Amino acid sequence: MRRHCGRQGGRQSGFTLIEVLVAVLIVSVGVLGVAGLQLLSLQNNTSAMFRTQAIQGAYDILDRARANSDQDYSLAMDAAPGGGPDCAAQDCSPLQMRNYDLREWREALAAVLPEGGGSVVVTGGAMTVTVRWQDTRNPNAAPLDVAVTSQLRIF
């Protein structure tokens, strides 16, 4: 009786080095694809987060304007809101509260959005709030913005 070392019936058992390399290549391509999808998902989630924060900021100033409805909250995109006291720490007049609200709103937008800013246009009983920011994925692109229009008084 003859024995064949490592062979069963003349056939080789186990993997060859080429088979292992091909398997590693296929797994590597799959892992790179998953990593690319993860990166794209993270970028889109960041964009969605900025858009959500912009909408929340727009509704914030709308609520502030409704609470102080005797004041005109109009403010251009590059205009500086008026100065005044800290109305969170002391009583303020309606005009001082308006300036405080706009100043706090602009500071909040700048804190949560890259190059964040905003404008308010009041026409008749409607208020249009525009929040603008720069997309961090493409800093050379035009800034993104969200506009929300709402009635100030509900009769």
pTM value surpassing 0.75: no
pLDDT cut 90: percent of the chain above it: 46
Contacts of 126 (CB under 8 A, 6+ apart): 149, 150, 151, 152
**Which tens digit of pLDDT belongs to each residue from 118-144?**
999 998 889 999 999 998 777 777 888
Confidence of residue 34 (pLDDT cuts 50, 70, 90): very high
**Mean pLDDT to the nearest integer, 32-45:** 86
Residue 3 scores a pLDDT above 60: no
Residue 56 scores a pLDDT above 90: yes
Longest dimension (CA), the chain: 109
Confidence of residue 46 (pLDDT cuts 50, 70, 90): confident
How much is the pLDDT for 6?
52
Residue 151 scores a pLDDT above 90: no
How much is the pLDDT for 8?
54
Q: CA-to-CA distance for 64 and 55, rounded, in angstroms?
A: 14
Domain ranges of the chain: 15-151
- More confident call, 40 vs 1: 40
- More confident call, 51 vs 136: 51
